[in-house]
Amino acid sequence: MPIDATLAYDDQNIFARILRGEIPAKKVHEDEHALAFHDINAQAPVHILVIPKGAYVSWDDFSARGSEAEIAGFVRAVGKVARNLGLVAPGYRLLANTGGDAGQEVPHLHVHLFGGRHLGPMLAR
Ligand code: 5GP
């Protein structure tokens, strides 16, 4: 079920639990502002989720309330993960689902990082 991105942050969501180390994740990067790990249900040869460490429901929430340092740190982390995975030359795609129409399922901001093959059209028609 897609989430309502206007609701308050729920600290029992699955990514909050990954951040607290309560459930495992295959981590590829961690720093002060971000954690990156493999998606449990990969949709491409490379499918990484990058999340901010702060409690933000969605891109909307983060872009409205995140500090300059958190936003800069998060954006830099996304770029660094892609670079470290060797995805700049072949290319990659970023996706941040926000709310119902986009089908966001986990109410903690996450950017999907896809790569490893030609990714096809931007959206299903
Ligand atoms: P959304 O639809 O919210 O944009 O994407 C949520 C993503 O989280 C999905 O691609 C889903 O496979 C992934 N996911 C859900 N639960 C877990 C989990 O427990 N661990 C990991 N690594 N990924 C998860």
Which tens digit of pLDDT belongs to each residue from 64-107?
Answer: 999 999 999 999 999 999 999 999 999 999 999 999 999 999 99
Question: Which of 38, 110, 112, 118 is labelled catalytic?
Answer: 110
Atom of ligand 1 nearest to the CA of 97: 4
pLDDT for 60: 98
Task: Give the total residue count for the chain.
Answer: 125
Tell me the average pLDDT of the chain: 97
Give the Å distances, CA to CA, from 27 to 11, 13, 51.
20, 18, 11
Contacts with 23 (C-beta within 8 Å, 6 or more apart), sequence order: 14, 17
| Average pLDDT score over residue span 41-54 | 98
Q: Please state, in angstroms and rounded to a whole number, the distance separating the CA atoms of residues 56 and 61.
A: 6
pTM over 0.95: yes
Question: Taking CB atoms and a 6 Å cutoff, what residues make up the pocket around ligand 1?
Answer: 14, 25, 37-41, 49, 97, 103-106
**Is residue 33 scored above 90 in pLDDT?**
yes
Q: H/E element holding 120?
A: none
**Is residue 22 scored above 90 in pLDDT?**
yes
**Triad 114, 49, 102: Cα angle to 5°:** 75
Tell me if residue 29 is catalytic.
no
